[in-house]
Amino acid sequence: MSKFQKKRGKAKPAISTASLPDIIFMLLFFFMVVTVLRDAELKVKVTTPYATELTKLEEKSLVNYLYIGRPEAKYQSVYGTRPRMQLGDAFATVDDIPLFLEKHKVKVPENKRARITSSLRVDGEVTMGIVQDVKIKLRKSGQLKVNYSAKKRPQ
Amino acid sequence: MAKTSSRDRMSNEINAGSMADIAFLLLIFFLVTTTIAEDKGILVKLPPWSDEEPDITQLKTRNVYSVLVNAQNKLLVRGEEMDLDDLKDKTVEFISNPYNREDLAEAPNKAIISLKNDRGTSYGTYLEVYNELKAAYYQLWDELSRQKFGIPYSDEMPIAQQKVIKGEIPFVISEAEPTSFGEE
């Protein structure tokens, strides 16, 4: 008993917390770098299917996104329940694709334009009809690099 | 005099104790607002558009592996029903043709996979089929890579080696115009 009291008296309980902000900042920067802010609000419901043979898309600036799915519940009164496509933050038809691609293209430096990829984020429940129309329009527009967005299948 | 002034300066230090709290606040803000980028997928190169239908009648039937996915999400491979689970192994067998069978591909670089779907096929099923076909090719590439270079096939290996492998077993999937069956 006396032993403990002795120690308590002597020890100065001061662990320096000066480096704590640095550690937190490190974490903060990690999250800032790793994450991307979503630029468009999704108006269609997209649950991408599972697959195993996945490739990772490298440069975010070279990717344009096409969303296909059924409209969310609050848009169903206007846009119905049939699968629709969303470009940027608005509903669109296949005829809007060439302009959309062109708008993205001008933002990309010329030497990188050949590497532009279209990421098709399509709901697994959607039928192939609309996907096919989009694919044909992409081919006609000369946008041949396409990525079918999918999730890693849990083992 | 000098002593006291330096002591004064010491006491004027800004208290950095709350810095951690501020950093925490920022950290939590970013944790909540952002989602970790998880854009992965199956990379596909579409064929350039041409107004003429590609003529596949000139190909030998033994070299063509036709896969049909109908509006009921069922598979018909070379005229026979097939389970999705068997597709990969059968495709590998067709391309490599290990026993030199008469009805399978002459050589891996002559094999063509013809994929056809209905407009009513669900996208999930279509992608699963595509995934299995791609998995078959990846398996063959991996085998060849181990045999030739002694390393497993990956997208990170030297481009020259990838080219050699893909030259021997090219990835050829021809997608026919879908039949407009089962459209919503």
At residue A23, the pLDDT reads: 85
Q: For residue B46, which residues of chain A lie inside 8 Å, CB to CB?
A: 135, 138-139, 144-146
**Confidence bin at B129 (pLDDT 50/70/90):** very high
Contact between B112 and B64 under an 8 Å Cβ cutoff? The reply is yes
Q: Scanning every residue of chain B, which has its alpha carbon at the shortest distance from the alpha carbon of A124?
A: B124
Q: Scanning every residue of chain B, which has its alpha carbon at the shortest distance from the alpha carbon of A28?
A: B27
Q: Is residue A140 part of a domain?
A: yes
Closest Cβ–Cβ partner in A25, A28, A51 for B42: A51
Identity of residue A17: T
B56-91 pLDDT, tens per residue? Answer: 667 778 888 889 998 888 889 888 888 888 888 989
Interface of B with A in 13-52 (CB under 8 A): 16-17, 19-20, 22-24, 26-27, 30-31, 33-49
Considering the entire predicted model, what is its pTM? 0.77
Q: Is residue A30 part of a domain?
A: no
pLDDT mean over B162-183: 82
Closest Cβ–Cβ partner in A18, A24, A123 for B23: A24
Token readout for A136 is 């044909």
Q: For residue B126, which residues of chain A lie inside 8 Å, CB to CB?
A: 128, 131
d(C-alpha A132, C-alpha A9), whole Å: 78
Please, what is the Cα angle at B180 between B119 and A100, to 5 degrees?
55
Closest Cβ–Cβ partner in A20, A35, A132 for B34: A35
β-strand B112-117 against B173-175: which pairing, if any? parallel
More confident residue, B36 or B69: B69
Q: Is residue A90 part of a domain?
A: yes
Alpha helices in chain B (DSSP H): 2-11, 19-33, 84-96, 123-149, 159-168
Closest Cβ–Cβ partner in A49, A60, A63 for B124: A49
CB contact under 8 A, A147 and B43: yes
Q: For residue A80, which residues of chain B lie inside 8 Å, CB to CB?
A: none
Q: Is residue A143 part of a domain?
A: yes
ipTM of predicted complex: 0.74
pLDDT mean over B164-178: 84
Q: For residue B120, which residues of chain A lie inside 8 Å, CB to CB?
A: 127-129
Query: What domain range includes position A124?
Result: 44-152
Phi and psi torsions of B124, nearest 5°:
-60, -45
Q: Is residue A23 part of a domain?
A: no
Q: Is residue A2 part of a domain?
A: no
Q: CB count, 10 Å around CB of B156?
A: 6
CB contact under 8 A, A127 and B121: yes
Dihedral angle at the C-alpha atoms of B158, B162, B164, B168, nearest 10 degrees? 170
CATH of the domain at A60: 3.30.420.270
> What is the number of structural domains in chain A?
1
At residue B184, the pLDDT reads: 64
pLDDT in tens, chain A (155 residues): 555 655 555 667 777 777 877 888 888 888 777 766 666 778 888 888 999 888 888 777 888 889 999 999 888 888 888 889 999 888 999 899 999 999 999 999 999 888 899 999 999 889 888 999 999 999 989 899 999 999 888 87
Q: Is residue A26 part of a domain?
A: no
DSSP code of B36? E
Closest Cβ–Cβ partner in B19, B41, B71 for A21: B19
- B116 has a pLDDT exceeding 60: yes
Q: Is residue A138 part of a domain?
A: yes
- B17 has a pLDDT exceeding 50: yes
Q: For residue A66, which residues of chain B lie inside 8 Å, CB to CB?
A: none
